[in-house]
């Protein structure tokens, strides 16, 4: 049987995920000196870690080529998919928010607002719940630019410290929901490798409860 394979999100969540695994006693030395490699043996090869972009973590886990994944709730909400979400890892905490240029009244008037976001599904569903018709424009990154350049009235994006909003003259209009890193598990792996996966989940739960 191949080693248990876990997909980790590159970038913002990477360091905290490695910290968590190390604190549980897993030897993550290979991930600390990673160079350009993308697959890493953990604990002498008992587990294999894969470093991927957030959306790809979900794809790999959903398709069963990775048994587990660590990914933000933001990506899970945007992509949906069929897998188990088994633990809130307690790090990568931020929130989804609607933000607009400081001093503007987002809800004033009756025109259809244009909202820029990387998270078009989250945006549509949130405004849908409000029964508010909006035009959503997909932006790939640095979404804060869109209202500053005049492309959109507001953005829906993740806010951590609020610095990016502040430094670009934007402010929160409304908070949408909290976000944090989650552990996800492939449906078949949960059955086929139950003992190993349960063991890992238990260790993580004990750690995050402390
Ligand atoms: C995220 C998010 C905001 C920023 C928020 O972008 O999209 O732009 O971080 O963080 P803050 O509240 O602490 O300022 P990220 O840096 O991941 O890059 P991106 O804009 O290219 O997606």
**Using one digit for the tens of pLDDT, what is the confidence trace for 99-145?**
999 999 999 999 999 999 999 999 999 999 999 999 999 999 999 99
The CB of 141 under 6 Å from ligand 1? The reply is: yes
Domain span including residue 117 = 94-178
Task: Give yes or no for residue 167 CB within 6 A of ligand 1.
Answer: no
Rounded-to-integer distance, Cα 135 and Cα 153, Å: 10
* pLDDT tens sequence across 89-99: 999 999 999 99
Q: How many structural domains does the chain have?
A: 2
Instruction: For ligand 1, say whether the CB of 160 is within 6 Å of any of its atoms.
Output: yes
For 165-195, the pLDDT digits (tens) are 999 999 999 999 999 999 999 999 999 999 9
DSSP single-letter state for residue 45? T
Residue 159 CA to ligand 1 centre (angstroms): 7
What is the tens place of the pLDDT at every residue in 26-84? 999 998 888 889 999 998 888 999 999 999 999 999 999 999 999 999 999 999 999 99
Mutate to test the pocket of ligand 1, among 141, 168, 178 (most ligand atoms within 8 A of CB): 141
Residue matched to tokens 């001093």: 103
User: How would you classify the pairing of strands 94-101 and 154-159?
Assistant: antiparallel
pLDDT at 4 over 70: yes
Max CA-CA distance within the chain? 62
**In the prediction, which pLDDT does 210 show?**
65
Whether 167 and 189 share a structural domain: no
Do both 107 and 83 map to the same domain? no
118 plus 156 within the same structural domain: yes
Question: What's the CATH code of the domain at 152?
Answer: 3.40.190.10
Burial tier of 70 (Cβ tally within 10 Å: 0-12, 13-18, 19+): buried
Mark whether 67 and 8 lie in a shared domain: yes
One domain, residues 110 and 132:
yes
User: What is the enclosing helix (H) or strand (E) of 7?
Assistant: strand 4-9
Centre of ligand 1 from the C-alpha of residue 30, in Å: 28
Do 187 and 200 lie in one domain? The reply is yes
Centroid of ligand 1 to alpha carbon of 164 (angstroms): 7
pLDDT at 152 over 80: yes
Q: Please give the span between the terminal C-alpha atoms of the chain, in angstroms, as a whole number.
A: 33
pLDDT at 169: 98
Q: Are residues 190 and 86 in the same domain?
A: yes
Q: What is the pLDDT of residue 111?
A: 93
Domain shared by 16 and 120, yes or no: no
Do 190 and 111 fall within a single domain? no
166 lines ligand 1 (CB under 6 A): no
CA dist., res. 77 & res. 97, Å (int): 14
- Does one domain contain both 40 and 98? no
Question: Ligand 1 centroid to 31 CA: how many Å?
Answer: 24
């Amino acid at each position: 049987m191949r080693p248990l394979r876990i997909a980790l999100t590159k970038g913002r969540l990477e360091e905290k995920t490695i910290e968590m695994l190390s604190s549980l006693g897993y030897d993550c030395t290979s991930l600390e000196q990673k160079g350009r490699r993308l697959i890493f043996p953990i604990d002498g090869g008992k587990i294999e870690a894969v470093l991927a972009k957030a959306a790809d973590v979900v794809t790999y886990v959903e398709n069963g080529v990775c048994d587990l994944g660590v990914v933000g709730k933001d990506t899970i909400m945007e992509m949906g998919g069929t897998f188990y979400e088994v633990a809130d890892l307690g790090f990568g905490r931020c929130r989804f928010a609607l933000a607009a240029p400081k001093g503007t009244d987002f809800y004033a008037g009756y025109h259809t607002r244009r909202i820029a976001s990387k998270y078009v599904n989250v945006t549509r569903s949130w405004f849908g719940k409000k029964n508010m018709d909006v035009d959503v424009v997909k932006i790939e990154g640095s979404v804060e630019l869109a209202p500053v350049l005049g492309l959109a009235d507001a953005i829906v994006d993740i806010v951590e410290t609020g610095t990016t909003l502040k430094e670009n003259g934007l402010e929160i209009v409304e908070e949408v929901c909290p976000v944090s890193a989650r552990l996800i598990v492939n449906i078949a792996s949960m059955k086929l490798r139950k003992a190993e996966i349960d063991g890992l989940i238990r260790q993580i739960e004990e750690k995050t409860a402390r």
